Amino acid sequence: MTTTFTKAALLGMTVAGLVGIAGGAQAASHSISACLITKTDTNPFFVKMKEGAEAKAEELGIELNSYAGKIDGDVETQIAAVESCIAAGAKGILITPSDGPSLTPIITQAREAGALVIALDTPFEPADVADATFATDNFKAGELIGEWAAASLENPEEAKIAMLDLNASEVSVDYLRNNGFLQGFGIDIKDPTDIGDEDDPRIVGNDVTNGNEEGGRTAMENLMQVDSSINVVYTINEPAAAGAYEALRSFGMEDQALIVSVDGGCPGVQNVKEGVIGATSMQFPLLMASLGVEAIAKFAEDGTKPEYSEGLDFTNTGVELVTDNPVDGIPSITSGEALEKCWG
């Protein structure tokens, strides 16, 4: 993970804080137990996150118990998992919250019981519900693909945009990416914590995907019925993007629309290379997970908690735009370069 850590640090992470986390981690006791709770165990992003956490836990001699919701949005299973972690006396809990407000009471209980709680990927609202957050700057991730899409169109003022979001809960990762894309594209956003309240005529509509391919296909089909001239498709993640492409292809319209996304998984980067996705924002789930485990080890050793990145209320684990059609003024890497560092 050293190479990835260095590259991510260049993107604005609080290096001193992260090095401090790692510094004492090697001294972790083999008696430390921790939990990882993801939204699902099928999304490649969370599969890779689990692999990263397990590898780091084994390296540091930490007992790691993993849990996952049945689908994205399954908050009941996540609540039950936190209860199990409290009962087991876990020293730390890493969680990608499906519904922050619903989880807040049980997360508060976990912290009161002495556990260090770290949100991964998706911040709580407010962020200080957890002790720390290791995440992509999700607004920036959306903004990058929005800027790229607008710059790639000959007439962005005449765009017809489909917005393929996550689910009806509108968790932070969902509205941050959505609104980041809109701002990057040049569309005024209203409530920065809401989805779908804009009145710009370029937006055909919003639909939900549950972050998977089937959901992406269905959402794209629904919005094509609203306006068959859609030429830009924003997607919450790369599985949803793959589904959207299949829907377009089934109508012989796969060359009509630019599809943009967020993740940076190897299948998604391969889709950039093949022209299925025009651009994606790469995240670093292995880094999030390994830093989280290191933070738990350090907390168990001397009570130290992670530091935020400067100017943020979370630790920024970095984001890079991936496209084979770069535009002036927007830093990016090619799909070939991204395949050297993608996950899953």
Closest CA to 297 of 67, 57, 68: 57
**Cα distance between residue 331 and residue 333, in whole Å:** 7
Q: Is the pLDDT of residue 227 over 50?
A: yes
Binning pLDDT at 50, 70 and 90, where does residue 129 land?
A: very high
Sign of CA dihedral 100, 102, 103, 107: positive
What is the pLDDT averaged over residues 37-54?
A: 93
Q: Is the pLDDT of residue 158 over 90?
A: yes
pLDDT, tens digit (0-9, with 9 covering 90-100), for 82-114: 999 999 999 999 999 999 999 999 999 999 999
Q: Write down the pLDDT at residue 12.
A: 41
Binning pLDDT at 50, 70 and 90, where does residue 280 land?
A: very high
Strand (E) or helix (H) holding 251: none
Q: Is the pLDDT of residue 120 over 80?
A: yes
Domain spans, the chain: 2-136+284-306, 138-282+320-339
DSSP structure string for 22-67: HHTGGG--TT-EEEEEES-SSSHHHHHHHHHHHHHHHHHT-EEEEE
Q: Which amino acid is at 50?
A: K
Question: Do the Cβ atoms of 310 and 20 come closer than 8 Å?
Answer: no
Question: Do the Cβ atoms of 90 and 118 come closer than 8 Å?
Answer: no
Q: Write down the pLDDT at residue 44.
A: 87
Residue with tokens 């692999």: 51
pLDDT, tens digit (0-9, with 9 covering 90-100), for 321-344: 999 999 999 999 999 999 999 986
Range name among 1-10, 173-182, 275-284 with the lowest pLDDT average: 1-10
Matching CATH topology for 2-136+284-306 and 138-282+320-339? yes
- The dihedrals phi and psi of 170, each to the nearest 5 degrees, come to 55, 55
DSSP structure string for 55-117: HHHHHHT-EEEEEE-SSTT-HHHHHHHHHHHHHTT-SEEEE--S-HHHHHHHHHHHHHTT-EE
Binning pLDDT at 50, 70 and 90, where does residue 72 land?
A: confident
Sign of CA dihedral 172, 339, 150, 208: negative
Closest CA to 164 of 87, 114, 216: 216
CATH topology of domain 138-282+320-339: Rossmann fold (3.40.50)
What average pLDDT does the chain have? Answer: 91
Q: Write down the pLDDT at residue 248.
A: 98
Q: Does domain 2-136+284-306 have CATH number 3.40.50.2300?
A: yes
Binning pLDDT at 50, 70 and 90, where does residue 46 land?
A: very high
Q: Is the pLDDT of residue 76 over 90?
A: yes
Neighbour count for residue 228 (Cβ, 10 Å): 12
The token pair that represents 183 in the structure block: 């701002």
Crossing angle between the packed helical segments 15-23 and 2-10, to the nearest 10 degrees: 150
Q: Which amino acid is at 332?
A: S
- DSSP conformation class of 166: S
